[in-house]
Homo-oligomer: A and B are copies of this chain.
């Protein structure tokens, strides 16, 4: 699905910290997942992919699944060991939730993202994802300074590798830009200025006349109809154009019933 969010938020500035976070995929079996990971990275503004002993790479299936993110595949680094993949990093995070007898304390993705970004201000940081079936080995986890997990349904935790990369990259993007979250402007086309209180009162008075004229409202027994309608329209924050439409409908009704 194409989500040109730029149309809703002003062009976001680049965050150079995202350029210093490398996604490391260790012993990936399915090339399609490598392509999906590249696409997931690019949608969130990450660009550095490192592959440790991928089963098939390069591979046409990876390119297919990457869609427009094949530039990330082309610039991917392929290593023979995790040590090589972590060269020059100042911090490495294992993405895993398996119970480990040893290894760093696990932390939730959402809580970890700001820390990862802060560390990336000082140097390269790696997020390390294991094989689709076996996950990361204990030795791999112990190479990392932090273990991060993604909360999941305890009855079914089988997260797709590309989805796991997507969720981490999403958390990093929000952590990078969320201090100033993309402003949801209310300036969508055709949104007109808010109606004034006077406009709105004239609408309620007009609506009341029509309700009486059509015998829907008995002024002797008003049954809280007007407060209920005020509550309804009050929630809408009526715009000037909308008041004009509503008044237009009431005028047309009035004319038709010959009042």
Query: How far does the alpha carbon of A151 sit from the alpha carbon of B190 in the complex, in Å?
Result: 24
Q: Cβ of A105: which chain B residues have Cβ within 8 Å of it?
A: 184, 186, 188
* B228 contacts A232, C-beta separation under 8 Å: no
Query: Among B131, B160, B233, which residue has its beta carbon within 8 angstroms of that of A40?
Result: B160
User: Which B residues touch A19, using CB under 8 A?
Assistant: none
Q: How many copies does the complex hold?
A: 2
Q: Known contacts A1-B159, A190-B224; decide if A153 and B42 are in contact (CB<8 Å).
A: yes
A150's partner among B5, B67, B237 (CB-CB below 8 A) is: B5
Please, which residues of chain B bring their CB within 8 A of the CB of A248? 216
- Cβ–Cβ contact B215 & A43, under 8 A: no
Q: In the bound complex, do residue A153 and residue B242 qualify as a contact, i.e. CB atoms below 8 Å apart?
A: no
A-B contact sample (18 more), CB < 8 A, given A1-B158, A42-B153, A228-B245:
A1-B129, A1-B131, A3-B98, A3-B152, A3-B158, A4-B99, A4-B157, A5-B149, A7-B97, A45-B153, A106-B184, A150-B170, A160-B166, A163-B166, A210-B253, A214-B252, A216-B253, A225-B245
